[in-house]
Structure 1
Amino acid sequence: MSPGAPGSEAKGSPRGSALFDGSSIEEQELPPPLRSYLCLTIITCFCPAYPINILALVFSIMSRNSYFAGDYDGSRQLGRNALCVAVASIAIGLLIVAVVCAVHFTNLDF
């Protein structure tokens, strides 16, 4: 095509730039979904492994803050840390409950 032909765009024209490419906001790339596991970490606060479940809650809140700041990779990593620590807190809490129940019910005096 010739440089002046209709439909051809010059190198410096505003229609060819990234700002004026004609795409709407809906067509632009959306951020990844938030996975902070906040509900899970709040539930783990009822487990008897207190320092660990508080750490999971802190990771979850940090994940949310990173997501809203635009750091999606950091948010994903902190969310994964929150999930791992929350699962560990649940496991340790169940172990503590099992040990307490075993000790309590084996020391009954009849």
Structure 2
Amino acid sequence: MKLAVPVVLNSDLKSASDNSPETDTRDEAQQAPPPNNYLLLTIFTCFCPAYPVNIVALIFSVMSISSYNQGDREGAERLGWNAKWVAIASVIMGLLVTAIYCTVHFTTLLS
């Protein structure tokens, strides 16, 4: 005596656990990498002698990380862009301060 087992060829049938958040990995594969926050650049600028400006760059960089972790990708990109340009300004200001200091120091030494 044989029992007939119906064969289901329809691939649209899914179990309830296939669409659960734990097993659905489609969003993770499509998620873009995080925007650049320029954290290493802003840490480097903390060694420049332009202290108020480089601290602001570091704060922008940390705020960019925080915004991305909260799900605000556009805000993280904007804050990362601000951190980059404030860090560049800090490096330029630090080079100017160093150049002025060296100029004043070595010209007064020779007189």
- Please tell me the TM-score bracket, short chain as reference: 0.7 to 0.9
| Secondary structure in structure 2 of the residue aligned to 1:56 | helix
Cross-structure match for 1:86: 87
Deviation of 1:35 after TM superposition, in Å, equals 0.7
**Does the 8 Å CA contact 1:47/1:89 hold for their aligned counterparts?**
yes
Q: CA RMSD in A?
A: 2.5
Task: Kindly tell me the number of residue pairs found equivalent between the two proteins.
Answer: 97
Counterpart amino acid of 1:86? A
| Secondary structure in structure 2 of the residue aligned to 1:34 | coil
Which sections of structure 1, spanning at least 5 residues, go unmatched?
Answer: 1-5
Cross-structure match for 1:72: 73
Structure 1's consecutive aligned runs of 4 or more residues displaced over 6 angstroms after TM superposition are none
Question: TM-score normalized by structure 2?
Answer: 0.74
CA distance in 1, matches of 2:45, 2:73: 25
**Does the 8 Å CA contact 2:57/2:84 hold for their aligned counterparts?**
yes
Q: Percent identity over the alignment? A: 48
Which sections of structure 2, spanning at least 5 residues, go unmatched?
Answer: 1-8
Answer yes or no: is 1:25 the counterpart of 2:25.
Answer: yes
Counterpart amino acid of 1:39? L
CA distance in 2, matches of 1:105, 1:39: 33
